[in-house]
Amino acid sequence: MAGAGKAGATGSSAGQAADAAAGKAGRPPYEQARDELTELVKRLEAGGLTLEQSLQLWERGEQLAAICEEWLEGARARLATALARQHEAGAAPGAPF
C-alpha cells in the first residue's frame, strides 16, 4: 500500500488533488477493483484451475485487495477531514454534512 499515506503527507488540498490524479492514472477505480476481485474469487472457488493459474489469480487478488484498501483509507481520511471542518465551523454535533 505504497500510496496509502500520500494524501495525509501533503497536508494541502492541492497536494491531495495532485496525489489523487496521479493515483487514478495508475490504479483502477474502487468499484472496478472490487468487481474484478469478486469475479476472481468466484473463479478460484469454482476450481478446475492449474496450480500456476491459481497462484496468478491469488497474486492479482492480493493486488486488488491492496488497491481497494487504499481507496477505503483515502475515503476515511476525506470523511475525517470533512467532519473536522464541520466541527471547527461549529456545526451541530451528529449532523455529518
Q: pTM of the entire structure?
A: 0.64
DSSP 27-75: S--HHHHHHHHHHHHHHHHH----HHHHHHHHHHHHHHHHHHHHHHHHH
Q: What is the CATH number of domain 29-87?
A: 1.10.287
Per-residue pLDDT of 25-69, as tens digits, reads: 688 999 999 999 999 999 999 999 999 999 999 999 999 999 999
* pLDDT (0 to 100) of residue 24: 58
Task: Give the H/E segment covering residue 18.
Answer: helix 13-26
Q: What are phi and psi of 91, to 5 degrees?
A: -70, 155
pLDDT tier for residue 87 given thresholds of 50, 70 and 90? confident
| ∠ Cα 30 34 39 (to 5°) | 150
In this model, does residue 10 exceed pLDDT 60? Answer: no
Domain ranges of the chain: 29-87
* pLDDT (0 to 100) of residue 83: 93
